[in-house]
Amino acid sequence: MQDCIFCKIVKKEIPAEIVYENDHVLVFKDVKPASPIHLLLIPKKHIPTFFDLQPEDSQIIGEVQRAAATVARDMGLAEKGFRLVSNCMEDAGQLVFHMHYHMLAGRPLQWPPG
Ligand code: 5GP
Ligand code: ZN
């Protein structure tokens, strides 16, 4: 999608610190980290929110979640773990309308979030 910042990162039109990539998934560092490790995991396909998911997107979303485990293992998080969270629309504070998961890790995380 033309004006989507994450689509621009997928197309390498704007820079990002990419840590993992495959045919359907891109993982890069959040520009404003909220924890020592703060990654964004996105489908390369432009899907604005969960409400836009189509039946054929199930495999892509599954791949995003599997990428979380791959990246976490590679980053040495297999023992301590991580949090995967996705903000959907206004009340959750979604700012970028290209579906994504935040991976937060590297410190004990409070629950529930604010
Ligand atoms: P949301 O509130 O939509 O769940 O979170 C969007 C996230 O994207 C925020 O944590 C924000 O810091 C991050 N972000 C926004 N623009 C950019 C960008 O251009 N590059 C990177 N790496 N992260 C971004
Ligand atoms: Zn997009």
**Which residues are near ligand 1 (CB < 6 Å)?**
5, 16, 28-32, 40, 87, 93-96
Position 38 confidence tier, pLDDT thresholds 50, 70, 90: very high
Q: Residues 47-92: pLDDT tens digits? A: 999 999 999 999 999 999 999 999 999 999 999 999 999 999 999 9
**Measuring CA to CA, how many Å separate 100 from each of 37, 79, 91, 96?**
16, 24, 16, 8
The overall average pLDDT reported for the chain is: 97
Domains of the chain: 5-105 (3.30.428.10)
- Residues with a catalytic annotation lie at 100
Report the alpha-carbon distance of residue 20 to residue 3 in Å, rounded.
23
